[in-house]
Every structure is written in C-alpha cells, then in structure tokens.
Amino acid sequence: MESVLGRYRNLTILVGVLFLQVLGLAIQVKRSADAENTRLIRIWAVSAITPFERGLVWAQHGGGNLWRNYCFLRGVRAENRQLKEEIERMRLEQVRLSEDAAQAHRLQSLLAFKEQVIAKTVPAQVIGSSASDLSRSIYIDKGSNHGIAQDMAVITAGGIVGKVLRVYPSTSLVLMINDQSSGVGVLLEKSRLQGVLRGTPNGELILERVMSDEQVVPGETVQSSGGDQIFPKGLPVGTVSKVSPGREMFLSIKVKPAADLSRLEEVLVVTEKQEREPVAESGGRARAADILAQRLPSVPDKPATVVGAAPEGSTGSGVTGEGSSASAKPHPNGAGQPGTETGTKLAGGAPAASAPAGSNAASPGAAHSVVVAGPSATGEVLTKVAQKGASGDSGSKSGAGSAAGSKAPVSAASNSASNSASNPTSNPTSNPASNSANSPAKASTRRLKLSGPQGNPQPAATEDNPH
Amino acid sequence: MPITYTSGEQIEVYRFSIPVTVGVPLLALFLQAFLPRRFPFFSIFDLPLLVTIFFAMARRNPISGLLTGAAIGLVQDMLGPYPIGLYGIAKTVVGYGASSLGAKLDVENAGARLLVTLGFYLVHAAVYFMVARGMVNLTLDWSWSHGILAGLANAVLGVGLYFALDKFKQRT
C-alpha cells in the first residue's frame, strides 16, 4: 500500500486536494440557505484586495478631477448654454408630464392601487469586479456600516444595475443584471408584456418567457415590473435591440441595458422603499384642463379688449387657447417661431409658475400680443383642451366638465399672466397695482370656484409636480 | 519545433523568490478584479489562470503546481459571487496538468506556450462548467465562440506575460 501511494504520490495528492475542495463545495451547496458559512473567508479575501482598489480609484478620481476641474475647462461656456437650453426644454416637458402623472395618480387612487416608491438611496462608488469573466459582479465602496443590506436594488440615473449579493462592513458585492445567474422581472412599456431578464455568457441581456406569437419590436422600452420584489416597478431597464425566435414557444429578445454596465463608476443603492397609496391632487377630482389652467399665464390688464370682443366662452378660449397650446404642445426648443411666438412666450411663462421666479416670465408685451393675436387660433385649442379634460373625466360629467374647462383657463390664465406681466418675479403680493387692475379676471376666478373645487389656481413649484 | 519531447534530466527546473511567488499571483488577482471596471474588454482575460500555468510549467513539479493552482483559484472564488471551490478545482487540475506537461515537454518557445495556454484555457473552462453545472447546479451557458476567442486572447497575452515573468526565474 505504501509503495503504491509513493509511486502515485502526485496523483494521490491531486485527488486529495480535489476531494477536499469538492467536499467544501458540497457543504456550501448543502447549506446554501445560510450565507454566513463562508463569510469569514470571503471577508479576508475582500479585505485584502479592496483597500488597494479603493486607493487606486481614489488616485484615479483625484487626478481626473484635477484635470477636469482646473486644467481642462474648454467648451464649458458652450456646454453651459446648451444645458440651459436643455433645462428650458425639460421644464416644458415637465409641465406636460406632471399633468399626465397627476391624472395617473388620481386614477390609481380611485382604484386603491398601491405604489412602491424609492424613499432613500445611498450613493456608492464602484471599486472593483469579481475577478472572473464568467460572472458579472462588482464591488462598491459601501457596506453594512452604511446601511447596505442583502438584496437591495442598485441603480443609476440611467437604469437598474443589479442587486446586492453579499455585504461586508465597508464593501458590498453587487450581482449585475447581465450575470447568468441573475433574473429580473420586467415588462415592455408599450405592449405591457411581462418577462424575465437574464444574462448570457457574453454579458448580454436576454428577455425570456415572452410567447412567440406576441408582437415585440426593436426599440421598445423595457421597465422593471416589480415582480421580483427587489426593483421597484417602472425603473428603466433597457431597450429591445433584437427579436428572434427562441426555444420552444418563446421569443428570444435581446435587450440593450439602459445603464452602461461595463463602465459603471457611481451607483445608487436603494436602501429604503415605501409602499403607499397614490395621493391625488386636491381631493382626487381634479381635471386635466384645470391643472393646465393653473399653469397657464394670464392676460394683462386689458379686459375690455378681451371680454368686449366676444361672449365669455369665446373670450376664454381666446386667452386660454394660446396658453393651452403652449402647455399642451410645447415647442421642443422653447424658442420663438414664426406664427407661434405668442404660444412660445406663454410656454416660457408657464414654467415660471412652477420654476424659480422670473426664469422666463412673459413680458407685458408678450402677454399683450397673446390677447390681440389669440382669438382666431385659440378657439380650437381650447376645444382640444376641453375635449382632453372631458375625456379624462367620467362621461356623466362631460357637460359640466367642458363648461368648467372653458372657464377655468380664463381665470387662471388671467391671474398668472397679469402677475407675470406686471411683475417678472410672479409674486402676486408684491405688486398690488397689478392685482387691483385685473378685477375681471378675479371675477372669473370666483365663477370658477363656484363651478368646481379644482378651480383655485395655485401655481407653485411643489404643487405642480406631484412627485 | 514548438514542442520537444525530452528526458527529465534535460529540462531545467526553476524556482522563484518568495516575494515573486506570493506577489505575482496577488497582483494578478488584483488586476483581474480592478482592470475590467476600467477597461471592459479586459474581462476576457484570466490573469490568475495564466500565472498558474506559468508557475506550474516553470517549476515542473506537479504537487507545487496543483497547490499553486488551488490557492490562486480559491482566492479568486472568494472574490466572486459563486460558491468557493469552482475556480479552485479547475485551477488545481490545470496546475497539475501544466506542471506534468512541463516535466515531459520543453515548452519554452512562443509557439508551444501559445498552444499549451489555449489548451489549458479550454480544460479550465470545461472543468469549471462541469463542476458548476453538475455540483452547484448553476445555470451557466457555454458559448463556443466566446470560449475560443477568449482562449486565443489569453494565449496571446500569456506568451507575452510568460516572457516578462521569465526574468524572475532562478535556476535551481
């Protein structure tokens, strides 16, 4: 026996070492429910590697910041201008979206839906990866000391990244969504089809469990469905890049991740989620037209021109229509165009109510031009607004709704435009002259209050945005 | 002639200083964990595997080779998300195989090193997948195109790396 072992000493040791490792592996697999088994040994390894990674990341960022913030500032002025234009565009978009969101909230509250929202996040820096091509995971520089726990969602501004797999005192291991062992419950934004997103050996994302008879087109947005209890519903995941027949009766849908998973530097760990019932604005019976009206700028102090020119309804439409067109269909650049100048200026004025005062408030001249140029084009816009309002409400209220819709914009528009016209800071209390001058507008405000509970125009930044 | 069959006496056996023995594998593990975040294409390489093959072939001692492979593989496992032992087992086999091969064949030239590295990369992947699927029940898929490409990339990098590491060799 001894001679046999001596003769095959190398082989015996190989078998012994392999046996020990297989045994260790078997123990881990058997006790996989208890993740603490291998904790200590992993902590040692991670503690040995991550300080160097932290140091390198720190040095790299320090050098990079020094270069970017002090040495390389070329093009900042142009970029700043571009960003300001972008902000203007976003504000216009926000006005439109917040209306939709408010409407969705109202509907959700009517149906007593619960929504899950991200209550708290912890920013973290990516310091390393798992040292393996066969797994897609990263290390972040925040751990249990910073409130990180297992199975927390990790996201970026672009989209979801993965979930926290293991937590150490000052670092955490994040399993990315393109790992082969990960799975994320997702749904397609337009078709609302649900599926499971998995990683491939190449680090790509495949959407599984979508039947082959469904219509999925490249370019469609993929969102988290919330079904995995890790990622809140509605977070961007990616876009469909390729659709092909898959195994059995399912489609193989390739998804391009929304977050750049190969170049992650900073991420957010969702440390707290809240489940709450959606809160509708002002009691849950607001109408889209009313919300629009609250955001509209108002007419200047020329009541005779407006009211005297036509009956009340058409007067309202003359003013409101312009404002509505500006809000409902904002010009993408936020800049004046021939034929739409008044609308554009109003659109600039609309966000002034929901944005820092005077950011782009309409000048008196601009507001005045609305009144003069308005009536012909604005009637149909009002009709659209009224239709939109009516369609957002129940059918039984359509008659009253349209009436309120035609009145509400008048009052709100009148108030806010006169304020912005007479006072660029849009502060109604600081300029009593303008307030005293627009008494007809106030009268219509009173009428609006009588006609519906949502007629109280309150243009404020926080109230405009239900979020 | 890329691979020469020689007797044991004709082949030189090398050893390494302790700093190199410990430092080079640790550096390889560190770079493998750090560089792919900065250079995503780097994730295709497996530096710990290349270091395992190099030390095993240079020492030409199967026991030393398998222990080196086991140690490097286990540390690599500790940094990853999967159970500890997957890389350990795969690199143990590779370390044993490379040192056994190095004891029988002269693998000092670039062509031989390229072929040996490509071969052991595939062996490593085969053992890893076998254990991962058979024992741990991981749902890992093997991609031939990715595997061959990664094997070639590792082989090319390995040839350069081995010549760089040759400078640390000490004759026994």
Please state, in angstroms and rounded to a whole number, the distance separating the CA atoms of residues A6 and B21.
27
Amino acid at position A444, single letter: S
pLDDT digits (tens, 9 = 90+) for B105-135: 877 888 999 999 999 999 999 999 999 888 8
Please state, in angstroms and rounded to a whole number, the distance separating the CA atoms of residues A439 and A91.
30
Q: What is the mean pLDDT of chain A?
A: 66
Of A228, A223, A214, A294, nearest in space to A255 by CA: A223
Please state, in angstroms and rounded to a whole number, the distance separating the CA atoms of residues A297 and A366.
11
Q: What integer pLDDT is reported at residue A294 of this predicted model?
A: 61
Please state, in angstroms and rounded to a whole number, the distance separating the CA atoms of residues A228 and B32.
31
Gyration radius (Cα) of chain A, Å: 30
B72 touches chain A (CB under 8 A): no
Residue A278 has pLDDT above 80, yes or no: no
Please state, in angstroms and rounded to a whole number, the distance separating the CA atoms of residues B118 and A310.
86
A132 touches chain B (CB under 8 A): yes
Q: Which residue in B62, B66, B150 is closest to A133 by CB distance? A: B150
> Domains in chain A, start-ordered, CATH in brackets?
117-276 (2.40.10.340), 282-464 (no CATH)
pLDDT digits (tens, 9 = 90+) for A158-176: 889 999 999 988 899 999 9
Q: Name the closest residue on chain A to residue B135, using Cα atoms.
A: A26
Q: What integer pLDDT is reported at residue A438 of this predicted model?
A: 43
Q: What integer pLDDT is reported at residue A326 of this predicted model?
A: 39
Q: What integer pLDDT is reported at residue A269 of this predicted model?
A: 92
Q: Spell out a b/e string for A339-349, using b for 16 or more CB atoms within 10 Å of the CB, else e.
A: ebebbbbbbbb
3-state secondary structure B34-98: HHHHHCHHHHHCCHHHHHHHHHHHHHCCHHHHHHHHHHHHHHHHHHCCCCCCHHHHHHHHHHHHH
- Cβ contact, residue pair B92, A25, below 8 Å: no
Please state, in angstroms and rounded to a whole number, the distance separating the CA atoms of residues A80 and A287.
37
Structurally, chain B folds into a number of domains equal to: 1
Q: Which domain holds residue B75?
A: 4-171
Mean pLDDT of the region A430-442: 41
pLDDT digits (tens, 9 = 90+) for B141-167: 788 888 899 999 999 999 999 999 998
pTM of the predicted protein model: 0.57
Q: What percent of chain A has pLDDT over 70?
A: 54
Q: Which two tokens stand for residue A223?
A: 């969102």
Site of tokens 């045994």: A23
B149 touches chain A (CB under 8 A): no
Q: What integer pLDDT is reported at residue A454 of this predicted model?
A: 39
For chain B, the maximum distance between any two Cα atoms, rounded to a whole number of angstroms, is 46
Q: What integer pLDDT is reported at residue B154 of this predicted model?
A: 95
Indicate the helix (H) or strand (E) that contains B5. strand B4-5
Q: How far is A81 from chain B (nearest CA, A)?
A: 31
Which one of B27, B29, B32, B37 would you mutate to disrupt binding with A, by most A Cβ within 10 Å of its Cβ?
A: B37
A165 touches chain B (CB under 8 A): yes
Mean pLDDT of the region B70-84: 90
Of A415 and A148, the structure prediction assigns the larger pLDDT to A148
A182 touches chain B (CB under 8 A): no
- Cβ contact, residue pair A181, B82, below 8 Å: yes
Geometric angle at alpha carbon B2, from B161 and B104, rounded to 5°: 90
- Is the Cβ–Cβ distance between A286 and A451 less than 8 Å? no
End-to-end Cα separation, chain B, in angstroms: 26
Q: Which residues of B touch A38 (CB under 8 A)?
A: 78, 83-84
Of A443, A44, A210, A362, nearest in space to B74 by CA: A44
